[in-house]
């Protein structure tokens, strides 16, 4: 199977590979996927007091499309508010990277990773519970 | 050994996928050429010289095929390839003996064309036993002996597995089948020309052979069908009654010539070539082990053809790795490209976890593989694995001492 140029570029020159301290209060971590399925993504975001994503890092076990999807979203989320980042859709990722149909799940996983990282940050900073209470109330 | 080299165009990867197919040896091509134009006759034409010279060429090919497996030329049926041979052997025997016997025994790691044939026969009402394999990829002979009964028409066990290269104990299987009165069929697509085979010493009743796996042309194979004691088949292709009525259709003279010559060369060079490949494979494995921790060989290392090695690179996904080793043409046990996302059923049958099955690469070495190819491959693979481990969250967990099996993963 031939990969798109953008997938190859992200695979060969992945952006923002790395880890941040998952116990830090301003870091949210999302770990999604499963080794048995051949894809695991870890996405971390560092959020400013103003609620802006200042930095993002990823580590991914998976095929080239999974690596490219996670690399791409670290670029996209930087500078965004949490709500803006949460609005990133897998279809945007798939479109940007020209993923073939069998690789759509990679973009779904990347979207899940953003949402998981945001949820983790909100839970830590107490926002998650507020929202849950609001929803329940 | 040959001094012929396989030229590569700029950007063309090094070919290390000899279990998928092999190049047709130029010496084979040369023998085939005259039978396309100058000697184009129908080998079944009995009335003129055109037919006679084609028939003579086909019969020489048949003898050469027979010779490499210790058979008589009369016992060789030309087919389109090993898939057809496997279909003909299993369906042909099952159908012919169906009034007396309704049971088939095969193995879970067989090629899809054997497994799918057996599934098809199950739908027709036959019973099929799929033997498991041990963690080294070999069957347990006691288990085989226990399942073969007087209702078993045929036992089909491949000689060499296409993914992990392991060699099943053919002589022992043959002895069990003979004792129990079941025919023994073996898919030898990956074995002919790689390991010594003898249909009599091994009590093999039917054997499938492929042309393009042994440096012959694609589109031809053969089925060995024993004459004493006689094995009978219901043909799948009806027509003019060629090939003792078992496979009608005009023979493709150049392909028969090519398969024969490929067998002749393989037999002549098997010993020296086997040693050379064994040395190259050890060099590859040792070179990779010296560079990379946490790599594992899949399948038995001793009972294996010299030209195959299948390695799991823990914490690195196979398809991602294949993208990294773009200067090599190899295969992965990860089936991420398929819609199912299921990793190799062969590796799973060894008891490998799905995550380990996802991390495997198959290296197939062959006649035109050089030491320089292997040395390049070692460095290239090691770099790609290191690059990917540096971005693998599972590798981090491993370094931190976290057991990835202890984590509750959300299966997707």
Contact residues on chain B for A59, CB-CB shorter than 8 A: 391-393, 396
The CATH fold of domain B26-266? 3.40.640
Give the range among A92-106, B93-107, B349-363 with minimum mean pLDDT: B349-363
The pLDDT of residue B407 is 83
Q: Residue B141's pLDDT band (boundaries 50, 70, 90)? A: very high
Does the domain formed by B14-20+270-399 have CATH 3.90.1150.10?
A: yes
By C-alpha distance, the chain B residue nearest A71 is B391
Sort B143 into a burial class: Cβ within 10 Å, 0-12 / 13-18 / 19+.
middle
- Average per-residue pLDDT for chain A: 91
Cβ atoms of B68 and B263 closer than 8 Å: yes
Nearest CA among B349, B401, B334 for reference residue A39: B334
d(CA B51, CA A132): 86
Q: Which long-range contacts (CB under 8 A, 24 or more apart) does B27-30 make?
A: B27/B2, B27/B261, B27/B265, B28/B215, B28/B216, B28/B217, B28/B258, B28/B261, B28/B262, B28/B265, B29/B217, B29/B258
Q: How many Cβ contacts (< 8 angstroms) between chains A and B?
A: 90
Nearest CA among B392, B412, B411 for reference residue B402: B392
Q: Is B384 helix (H, G, I), strand (E, B) or coil?
A: helix
Output the CA torsion B208→B175→B132→B320 (10° steps).
-40
- Average pLDDT (B154-159) is 98
Residue B1 pLDDT greater than 80, yes or no:
no
d(CA B295, CA B316): 10
Q: Which residue has the higher pLDDT, B344 or B198?
A: B198
The pLDDT of residue B335 is 52
CATH number for the A5-125 domain, one of 1.10.260.40, 3.50.50.60, 3.60.21.10, 3.90.1010.10? 3.90.1010.10
Cβ atoms of B187 and B208 closer than 8 Å: yes
B136 is in an annotated binding site: no
Residue B412 pLDDT greater than 80, yes or no:
no
Please identify every residue of B annotated as catalytic.
336
Cβ atoms of B152 and B104 closer than 8 Å: yes
- Average per-residue pLDDT for chain B: 95
The pLDDT of residue B22 is 98
What residue spans in chain B does CATH classification 3.90.1150.10 cover?
Answer: 14-20+270-399
- Average pLDDT (B80-95) is 98
| Residue pLDDT, tens place only, B380-403 | 999 999 999 999 999 999 999 998
Helix, strand and coil percent figures for chain B, each rounded to 5: 40, 15, 45
The pLDDT of residue B361 is 93
The pLDDT of residue A7 is 95
Taken as a whole, chain B contains a residue count of: 412
Give the range among A83-87, B220-224, B282-286, B331-335 with minimum mean pLDDT: B331-335
Query: Is some CB atom of chain B closer than 8 A to the CB atom of A10?
Result: no
| Ranges of chain A whose pLDDT falls below 50 | 132-137
Angle at B314 between CA B309 and CA B317, to 5 degrees: 90
Backbone angles phi, psi at B192, to 5 degrees: -60, 130
Contact residues on chain B for A107, CB-CB shorter than 8 A: none
Domain spans in chain A, listed from the N-terminal domain onward = 5-125
Contact residues on chain A for B343, CB-CB shorter than 8 A: 38
| Residue pLDDT, tens place only, A41-51 | 999 999 999 99
Other beta carbons within 10 angstroms of residue A82's beta carbon come to 21
What residue spans in chain B does CATH classification 3.40.640.10 cover?
Answer: 26-266
């Amino acid at each position: 199977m031939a990969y798109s140029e953008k997938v190859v570029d992200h695979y060969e020159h992945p952006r923002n590979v790395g880890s941040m301290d998952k116990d830090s209060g301003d870091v949210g971590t999302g770990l999604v996927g499963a080794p048995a399925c051949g894809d695991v993504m870890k996405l971390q975001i560092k959020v400013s007091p103003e609620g802006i994503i200042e930095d993002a890092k990823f580590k991914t076990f998976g095929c080239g499309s999974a690596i490219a999807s996670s690399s791409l979203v670290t670029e996209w989320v930087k500078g965004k508010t949490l709500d803006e980042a949460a609005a990133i859709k897998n279809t945007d990722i798939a479109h940007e990277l020209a993923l073939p149909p069998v690789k759509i799940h990679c973009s779904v996983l990347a979207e899940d990773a953003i949402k998981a990282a945001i949820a983790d940050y909100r839970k830590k900073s107490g926002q998650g519970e507020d929202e849950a209470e609001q929803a329940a109330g | 050994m040959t001094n012929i080299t396989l030229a590569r165009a700029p950007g063309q990867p090094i070919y290390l996928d000899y279990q998928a197919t092999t190049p047709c040896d130029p010496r084979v091509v040369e023998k085939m050429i005259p039978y396309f134009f100058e000697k184009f006759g129908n080998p079944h034409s009995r009335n003129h010289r055109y037919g006679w010279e084609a028939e003579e060429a086909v019969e020489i090919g048949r003898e050469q095929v027979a010779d490499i497996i210790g058979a008589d030329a009369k016992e060789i049926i030309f087919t389109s390839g090993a898939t057809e041979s496997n279909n003909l052997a299993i369906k042909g025997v099952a159908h012919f003996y169906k009034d007396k016997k309704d049971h088939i025994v095969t193995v879970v790691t067989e090629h899809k064309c054997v497994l799918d044939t057996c599934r098809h026969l199950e739908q027709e009402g036959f019973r099929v036993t799929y033997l498991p394999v041990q963690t080294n990829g070999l069957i347990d002979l006691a288990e085989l002996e226990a399942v073969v009964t007087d209702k078993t028409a045929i036992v089909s066990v491949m000689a060499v597995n296409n993914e992990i290269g392991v060699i099943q104990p053919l002589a022992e299987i043959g002895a069990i089948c003979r004792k129990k009165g079941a025919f023994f069929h073996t898919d030898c697509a990956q074995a002919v020309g790689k390991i010594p085979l003898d249909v009599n010493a091994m009590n093999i009743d039917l054997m499938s052979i492929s042309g393009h796996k042994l440096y012959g042309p694609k589109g031809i194979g053969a089925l060995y069908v024993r004459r004493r004691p006689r094995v009978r088949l219901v043909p799948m292709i009806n027509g003019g009654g060629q090939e003792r009525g078992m496979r009608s259709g005009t023979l493709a003279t150049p392909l028969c010539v090519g398969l024969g010559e490929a067998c002749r060369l393989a037999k002549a060079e098997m010993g020296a070539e086997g040693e050379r490949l064994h040395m190259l494979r050890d060099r590859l494995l040792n070179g990779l082990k010296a560079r990379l921790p946490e790599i594992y060989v899949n399948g038995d290392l001793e009972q294996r053809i010299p030209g195959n090695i299948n390695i799991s690179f823990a914490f690195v996904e196979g398809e991602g790795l294949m993208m990294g080793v773009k200067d090599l043409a190899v295969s992965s046990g990860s089936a991420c490209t398929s819609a199912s996302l299921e990793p190799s059923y062969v590796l799973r049958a060894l008891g490998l976890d799905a995550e380990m099955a996802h991390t495997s690469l198959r290296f197939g070495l062959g006649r035109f593989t050089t030491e320089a190819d292997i040395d390049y491959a070692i460095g290239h693979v090691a770099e790609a694995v290191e690059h990917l481990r540096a971005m693998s969250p599972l590798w981090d967990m491993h370094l931190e001492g976290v057991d990835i099996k202890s984590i509750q993963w959300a299966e997707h």
